Amino acid sequence: MKCDLHIHSHYSYDSNASIKAIVDSAIKKGIDCIAITDHDEIKGAFEAIEYAKTKPILVIPAIEIKSKEGDIIALNIKENIEKNLSAEQTIRKIKEHGGFAIIAHPFGDWHGFKKDIKDFVGKIDAIEVLNASVFFGNKKAKETVQKYNLAFSAGSDAHEPKFIGSVYLEIPGQDLSIEQILKAIKDKNCEAKGKELSLFEKITERSKRGLIRMSKLFK
């Protein structure tokens, strides 16, 4: 199964992507599983689950939570979790809610994690080693996974439907459940694949995010 586990919809402050466009684009590109990881908001995930009920794709409910030290993705979560807590508190809250905690783009430009990853070995479920939209940091993330023998994840971090599936996590098997996918990640029975966006695509995509954020701020 091809899983893109980091996608943003219009429920995020920096995206205008509709849920319908996200799901339809993922299916068209042969992605079997997605996680809608809006910033501190679960609504998009539940809307996607409802829309995808009769479609050949699995949607994992998720959020990208802003902690004091950096962004943490919570997979298989059913409600919002308070932002701006410490990373330790955020991870604890995710676990209390039965979620799966992933440090997003740990070394990605200005979105990098502000604490040493080694302090979270045994606390975090995985770290993101391949993110299509960061300007740098994927190589260091992969090296960190190897150094500490950590589980890993991958996602496009798409804020536009056209970039969904540019990178993904490939997991052996078909029609897997959410629980089976999370177990495969934890067991490292998966592979990060795909290609980062080009420098031009990254620059223009980031510019669009900024404009969307400004327009929403002044609405």
pLDDT tier at 153, thresholds 50, 70, 90: very high
Instruction: Give the mean model confidence (pLDDT) for residues 26-49.
Output: 98
Dihedral, CA of residue 140, residue 144, residue 150 and residue 151, to nearest 10:
0
Nearest Cα to Cα of residue 1 among 178, 190, 171, 155: 171
Which amino acid belongs to residue 126? A
- pLDDT at res. 135: 95
pLDDT digits (tens, 9 = 90+) for 159-171: 999 999 999 999 9
- pLDDT at res. 180: 98
pLDDT tier at 139, thresholds 50, 70, 90: very high
User: How much is the pTM?
Assistant: 0.95
Domain ranges of the chain: 2-217
Distance CA 99, CA 93 (A): 9
pLDDT tier at 46, thresholds 50, 70, 90: very high
- pLDDT at res. 108: 86
The answer to whether the beta carbons of residues 141 and 127 sit under 8 Å apart is yes
Instruction: Give the mean model confidence (pLDDT) for residues 115-137.
Output: 95
Place of tokens 């298989």: 76
Whole-number mean pLDDT of the chain? 96
Q: What is the DSSP string of 59-111?
A: EEEEEEEE-SS-EEEEES--S---SSS-HHHHHHHHHHTT-EEEE-STT-GGG
- pLDDT at res. 61: 97
What residues form DSSP beta bridges with 3? Answer: 33, 169
pLDDT digits (tens, 9 = 90+) for 181-197: 999 999 999 999 999 99
- pLDDT at res. 137: 95
Does residue 110 surpass a pLDDT of 80?
A: no
pLDDT digits (tens, 9 = 90+) for 22-35: 999 999 999 999 99
Place of tokens 């090296």: 143
Q: Is the torsion defined by CA of 174, 177, 179, 181 positive or negative?
A: positive
Q: Which H helix or E strand runs over 23? A: helix 19-28
Name the token pair of 83: 């932002």
- pLDDT at res. 112: 80
* CATH architecture observed for domain 2-217: Alpha-Beta Barrel (3.20)
- pLDDT at res. 111: 72
Does residue 213 surpass a pLDDT of 80?
A: yes
Does residue 133 surpass a pLDDT of 90?
A: yes
Nearest Cα to Cα of residue 30 among 200, 184, 202, 193: 193
- pLDDT at res. 49: 98
What residues form DSSP beta bridges with 194? Answer: 167
Distance CA 3, CA 47 (A): 18
Q: Buried b / exposed e across 11-42, counting CB within 10 Å, b at 16+? A: bbbbbbbebebbbbbbbebebbbbbbbbbbbb
